[in-house]
Amino acid sequence: MALKFTTSYLEDSLAVLRQYKKMAEGAMAQVTDEQLNQTLDREMNSIAIIVKHMTGNMRSRWTDFLTTDGEKPDRNRDTEFVEPPPTREALMKRWEEGWKLVFDALEPLTEADLARTVTIRGEAHSVMQAINRALAHYASHIGQIVLLAKHFAHDKWQTLSVPRNRSAEFDRRVQAGEASQR
């Protein structure tokens, strides 16, 4: 993300969320449909299961964000870890729907809303705390998605950030305005 001075926590949070969303999409685009459902061992989740869990969380947390508990009574978290969507198209549809809920909830907020109280599992959080909680949660799962995708793509992997052993070249390109920092 390019340097931009802002005092807007919301603006920065939205930019970081969009950056993570794009990173996960770049990773998922590099794996086959079969690899979306593959795991490294029986204790791990597949990319598709991670997406299903994330979007279940997004639906629960961001639907009626300011007025209802972030853990909706109809959410069954345990089912998020079984039976992933049957196709890449269904998975990506769910992914987009989840992110739409996030952005639809956050974009209308003002800085004054950050101190408002919301609940998650009956526990009070400021709006800022709830956003921080989501940022950390989504970043950790997107890291898992990237790790799995990089493993599965192996030698076909195309970096989502600065290429290994090419930092100086990347820095020169950024300074020359030829590359954007991520």
Tell me how far the alpha carbon of residue 78 is from its chain's centroid: 20
Q: For residue 144, what pLDDT is reported?
A: 98
CB 120 within 8 A of CB 36: no
Distance CA 28, CA 44 (A): 17
Q: For residue 166, what pLDDT is reported?
A: 67
> What is the model's pTM?
0.87
Domain membership of residue 64 as a residue range: 9-175
Structural domain contains residue 3? no
DSSP state of 125: E
Structural domain contains residue 115? yes
Q: For residue 33, what pLDDT is reported?
A: 97
* Nearest residue to 62 (alpha-carbon basis) of 133, 111, 8, 9: 133
**CATH number, residue 29:** 1.20.120.450
Q: For residue 164, what pLDDT is reported?
A: 74
Structural domain contains residue 2? no
Q: For residue 182, what pLDDT is reported?
A: 44
Number of domains forming the structure of the chain: 1
Q: For residue 181, what pLDDT is reported?
A: 47
Query: Which residues of the chain form beta strands (DSSP E)?
Result: 117-120, 123-126
pLDDT digit string (tens) for the chain, length 182 residues? 555 555 689 999 999 999 999 999 999 999 999 999 999 999 999 999 999 999 999 999 999 999 999 999 999 999 999 999 999 999 999 999 999 999 999 999 999 999 999 999 999 999 999 999 999 999 999 999 999 999 999 999 999 987 777 667 666 666 777 655 44
Structural domain contains residue 181? no
Structural domain contains residue 4? no
Structural domain contains residue 87? yes
Structural domain contains residue 1? no
Q: What contacts 8, CB < 8 A, 6 or more positions away?
A: 111
